Chains A and B, each alone.
Chain A
């Protein structure tokens, strides 16, 4: 089963992503990891978390890349690595048409990821949501408040070790 995956010719999507990644690699060197060339969602990881905003700005503004559209930003929990992270799906809408995913990770306890809300406005609310659900901080975010849960909610619901609170304002929460 695994072999068939290897033998398949790479799709145009992956080739385009690889070309884009090479440009980023040239500029930032070892701040970014190798490209994971899977057929579903080619991605690379930002190894130096603090350079993420710089990389994002470059990805948006470089004439060869022009990743002007952030489709999605999802928070992820990696309990075995003791890390939290985000996955961003970026796309060059209406210009080059290529897509790539970027992963940024931070420490599970009080980790900080640079915010990209000034680069893509989409990130504003998505970062707030990731903060709400996972509790990682976004450095430089103007308005980092909980967005879905109430302000005084306890804990971060989507962490794998989340325990739901017993009562909220006197109302019983679990079944």
Chain B
């Protein structure tokens, strides 16, 4: 046991626990203080508000308050027809619009029971994997900023720009694409896309390694994140976690493999889980490591798709789009693996109208964030930032 400072701090002692974690023990009880964090706070990734009950440096409880970006997605979905929902879906998780559209289209196509041309499937997978990398780059970059490292942010955004350029070339927009439509995609790839895409893959591989060396193996970064925000696997499942968060807790679960859709069963990729050598399984660092590893897997998927994609002269990607989208009466829950986890759409159709009766978006960050209270209990205030960053929330999707 080691004394922290001089006599006036004698009530607080720091006990080393394991290698690099400390817990603060208290002899006398001190007063609780309510600390308000957000909605305008640079590290809450948007407009999240946390009300932290603190005791000195220790957070007793952090209660998230949402709704500062509640844009009424579900109301809009009931008010506009099916193709009109796609732009709103785009704006939900604005870091990964392609993946969002993909999930929504899968749900509606399930209900419509239509066959998608094979080339379209490849186009969809390629663009959504590109978007996954872009999204993870933002997640990693902003996480680094939260923990006080500015350079990785610049590196990440530099590489993200390349992806945005590629996707802009294909779809015409930089961020919110409206590219994947129900039954097809908006345009075929432009000529030369394949080459530029594989050039990017070649360019990005060493950059990912560089990022790894710059950030993931950085001792300061490791010290800030290792052992912070632990979540055991069974609790994570009970909380409904999905995506990199669940995999960070050591559960090998990826909808691309375990509830396969599109052409993923034909592709060879690995579901990344931390091996426990570098990080404690279930902590913030593991979640970061999973994201970093996933970028490499996405690159692999893109490479395979570029190779396998059938070439067709004068291909019309809109050929399979129904003239009038009016699904049969029924209900469906369609889902896909989005960079933040399982994005599901529960759609109810009455069979008569061109608008859904009910469209609920099951947002991955909404569910992931709900464990915030549990994650932050007993952590230090500076660790709170490390925990929020590791959840990688996008408020547009949390609040919808």
Contact = CB atoms under 8 A, between A and B. Distances in A.
Q: Do chains A and B touch in the complex (CB under 8 A)?
A: yes
A70 B74 contact: no
B75 A89 contact: no
A120 B19 CA distance: 34
A72 B238 contact: no
Nearest to B110: A40
A121 B240 contact: yes
A87 interface: yes
B237 A41 contact: no
B325 interface: no
Nearest to A2: B328
Interface residues of A, number: 36
B366 A125 contact: yes
Nearest to B331: A41
Contacts, number: 92
Contact of B333 (A41, A69, A121): A41
A87 B74 contact: no
Interface residues on B, range: 35 or more
Interface string A138-166: 00000000111110000001100000000
Contact of B348 (A72, A76, A124): A76
A76 B348 CA distance: 9
B330 interface: yes
A133 interface: yes
Interface string B337-360: 000001010101000000000101
A122 B74 CA distance: 19
Nearest to A123: B240
A94 B253 contact: yes
Interface stretch (B7-15, B64-72, B289-297): B64-72
B239 interface: yes
Interface string B360-400: 10100011001100000000000000000000000000011
B360 A157 contact: no
Interface in A71-123: 71-72, 74-77, 87, 89, 93-94, 97, 101, 120-122
A63 interface: no
Nearest to A147: B66
Given A89-B346, A120-B240, A72 B70 contact: no
A33 interface: no
A157 B79 CA distance: 13
A71 B240 contact: yes
Given A68-B237, A69-B240, 6 more contacts: A38-B331, A93-B251, A101-B331, A121-B238, A122-B367, A125-B367
11 contacts: A5-B328, A40-B331, A71-B344, A72-B333, A93-B251, A97-B258, A120-B238, A125-B367, A146-B67, A147-B67, A148-B66
Q: Lowest 5 A-B CB distances belong to which pairs?
A: A122-B240, A74-B360, A72-B362, A148-B67, A40-B332
